[in-house]
Structure 1
Amino acid sequence: MIKLENKLYSSTEVAEILGVSLRSVYRYLEEDKLTAEVKTATGRHRFTRQNIIDFLYPKGIPEEEQAKINAQEGTDEDDEPEIEEDEEEIKPAPKVEVHIKEEPKKEEPKVEVSEEESVDWLSKFREAAKKFEDEPEVAEKVEEVTGLASDVIEGTTEGSQEMFYYRSRLGGLKDIAQNIDKTARNSGLDYAFTMNAGLSLYKPISPFSVLHAYIRSKDKDFFERILTLTPSDEGNAQLCLVVSDEDSIYKGIDELHGLKVVEKKRLVEDIGELDEKLLKEAEGILQ
């Protein structure tokens, strides 16, 4: 019997405990074989000890193992679970066009629990997770721009493009991608995924952290509002909107798994310009 501490585990820790790859953990989640007690605002999962036990023993815990678990819980009952800070957790950036002074973080009041008091740890997990999601941190510095853009090429005239980076309150990359497609179809707007997002629609690739999608310049404000986007720097972004009014991008799209992606030739060109390491893998997949 693996000794599990009474805390919240990251996806990487669960993969190590189960002896499987991180991709397998994600697959178990999609197939509802594994349940995550907490999902953060950035789409990351956190698992309780009970989530792991339920996965290991889907038909119930044998009496011998249950005795060991009960003994283990007896030694852990006074340990308050901690929410471990994810090294890759991203600070959501606030609205731009204003200067915001850094505000000191409020210290959470300490709650003393007597040894004889019964504590509902599951409620504590959920309260902590909700508080973690609902309290965005104040960025140290805000630039006076209407969106943090990079790789600007000749404004937004036809044939040029401009890249804007964002974070979204909608959740993870899958949620954002599905909402882009739904929003565009319901409103009759053009869009097309490119870079890692586009390549992944042809064949599974290594995990990535940013979606790239082409949109027209007239639709930028609409997507920002509907997708609840907040401008971000490139290193912390979840989404990059590539603003371009070049008609050939939207006329030559392909549709895979219900999502729109630029044609193969354009996809290879985009990857070659922005990510040379990914280019070799892309050529192998798209040839």
Structure 2
Amino acid sequence: MIQLEEKLYTSTEVAEILGVSLRSVYRYLEENKLQAEVKTATGRHRFSKQNILDFLYPNGIDKPAVTLEEKKETLGQTKVTLDENIVEKDTNVEETNQDENVLETPEEEPIDWLAKFREAAKKFREESDEQPAAEAAVEPVTQPDEPKVVEVIEQEFVQETVTQFSEPVKPKEAVSNKYYYRSGLGGLKDIAQNIDKNSRTSFLDYAFTLNAGLSLFKPIKPFSMLHVYVRPNDLSFFEKTLALTPSEESNAQLCLLVSDDNAIYSGREELHGLFVVSKERLSHDIKTIGDGALSSEAQSVLG
């Protein structure tokens, strides 16, 4: 039996003890295979010695104590296939803490929108004598109206390089409807995490653009709305899973840009665990539906 101290362990420590990734620990929690002794006010889990032993020895400790390393060696020698629902080696998941400028997924995961916003605000104050932008106030959710189609975008997509613009290129589909919402899930961080989680689970396409997209490339000033491309057939899915209610643009937290343009999704990039449109598409969107301040911030990244 593995020797443990009588104390509360963090998720990272449990992952090291079990020899698995953080993602596996979270999955065990969701499947009720692993129980947490306590859950902090910030949503972090803490595990007791007994929680870990109950997971390792679900039928009780009837056999002589065997260390975790001996258990691994025995399994290797007998060529027993490990149940990937119990032990999983995931080399694609980053288990170390990311920089404060990185968007963070729940509990010690690498993406923290709130920390990124604060870092961006700090940098902005250092580079300018102007008064820092105030945090966007959270206003009560107004009575929802029917989803409002605010604008139809139908423009030539100008592909750019770092140095200069090339000739206009007409995409297969460049028509996007803009729908504005507020979400019942909470702030921008929670909305972004759920967009990614639900899309991956259901194998759907999405890609962040404008402020949210640029913030994945570099720290920028705080902002109060996420812009994300989704396909027309997936609109109702996101409205349901994100607990969305229609809103005026001035009060919205989320703008869904509905488009079936395959070039948007095939050219997207994955940064810090989230999908963002290509630099060319991001530059196009900033120039066509963004504002001058965002365009200035994008110069160092997009040219």
Normalised to the residue count of structure 2, the TM-score between the two structures is 0.48
1:278 and 2:294 equivalent?
yes
Mapped to 1, the partners of 2:136 and 2:243 lie a distance apart of 25
Mapped to 2, the partners of 1:283 and 1:180 lie a distance apart of 28
Equivalent position of 2:140 in the other structure: 91
Give, as a single letter, the amino acid of the residue that structure 2 aligns with 1:163. K
Conserved? CA contact 2:185–2:191, under 8 Å: yes
Equivalent position of 2:19 in the other structure: none
How do 1:197-276 residues align onto structure 2 when only pairs under 5 Å count? 197-274=212-289, 275-276=291-292
- Of 156, 165, 175, the match for 2:180: 165
SS of equivalent to 1:209: coil
Equivalent position of 1:182 in the other structure: 197
Quick one: structure 1 residues 94 and 195, their matched pair in 2 at CA, closer, same or farther if it must change by over 3 Å? Answer: same
Mapped to 2, the partners of 1:187 and 1:172 lie a distance apart of 23
Conserved? CA contact 2:144–2:247, under 8 Å: no
SS of equivalent to 2:220: coil
Q: CA deviation at 1:149?
A: 2.4
Deviation sequence 1:52-101 (CA, Å, 0-9, x none): xxxxxxxxxxxxxxxxxxxxxxxxxxxxxxxxxx99331213343xxxxx
How do 1:74-85 residues align onto structure 2 when only pairs under 5 Å count? none
Equivalent position of 2:147 in the other structure: 147
Give, as a single letter, the amino acid of the residue that structure 2 aligns with 1:217. P
SS of equivalent to 2:147: coil
Mapped to 1, the partners of 2:257 and 2:243 lie a distance apart of 17
Quick one: structure 1 residues 153 and 204, their matched pair in 2 at CA, closer, same or farther if it must change by over 3 Å? Answer: closer
How do 1:9-48 residues align onto structure 2 when only pairs under 5 Å count? none
Conserved? CA contact 1:93–1:231, under 8 Å: no
Mapped to 1, the partners of 2:266 and 2:138 lie a distance apart of 38
Q: CA deviation at 1:281?
A: 1.3
Mapped to 2, the partners of 1:195 and 1:221 lie a distance apart of 23
Quick one: structure 1 residues 279 and 244, their matched pair in 2 at CA, closer, same or farther if it must change by over 3 Å? Answer: same
- How many pairs are equivalent? 155
Give unmatched runs, 5+ long, in structure 1.
1-25, 31-42, 44-85, 97-145
Q: CA deviation at 1:284?
A: 1.4
Mapped to 2, the partners of 1:93 and 1:193 lie a distance apart of 26
Deviation sequence 1:107-162 (CA, Å, 0-9, x none): xxxxxxxxxxxxxxxxxxxxxxxxxxxxxxxxxxxxxxx302211247xx943110
Q: CA deviation at 1:243?
A: 0.3
SS of equivalent to 1:202: coil
| Identity level (%) | 55
Mapped to 2, the partners of 1:250 and 1:182 lie a distance apart of 17
Mapped to 2, the partners of 1:262 and 1:245 lie a distance apart of 14
Conserved? CA contact 1:268–1:283, under 8 Å: no
Q: CA deviation at 1:285?
A: 2.4
Mapped to 2, the partners of 1:260 and 1:153 lie a distance apart of 22
Conserved? CA contact 2:211–2:227, under 8 Å: yes
Q: Which runs of 4+ in 1 moved over 6 A?
A: none
Conserved? CA contact 1:194–1:267, under 8 Å: yes
Mapped to 2, the partners of 1:228 and 1:276 lie a distance apart of 32
Q: CA deviation at 1:186?
A: 0.3
Conserved? CA contact 1:190–1:216, under 8 Å: yes
Quick one: structure 1 residues 187 and 206, their matched pair in 2 at CA, closer, same or farther if it must change by over 3 Å? Answer: same
Mapped to 2, the partners of 1:187 and 1:166 lie a distance apart of 21
Give unmatched runs, 5+ long, in structure 2.
1-99, 105-113, 115-134, 155-171
RMSD of the alignment, in Å? 2.3
- Of 199, 206, 213, the match for 1:191: 206
Normalised to the residue count of structure 1, the TM-score between the two structures is 0.51
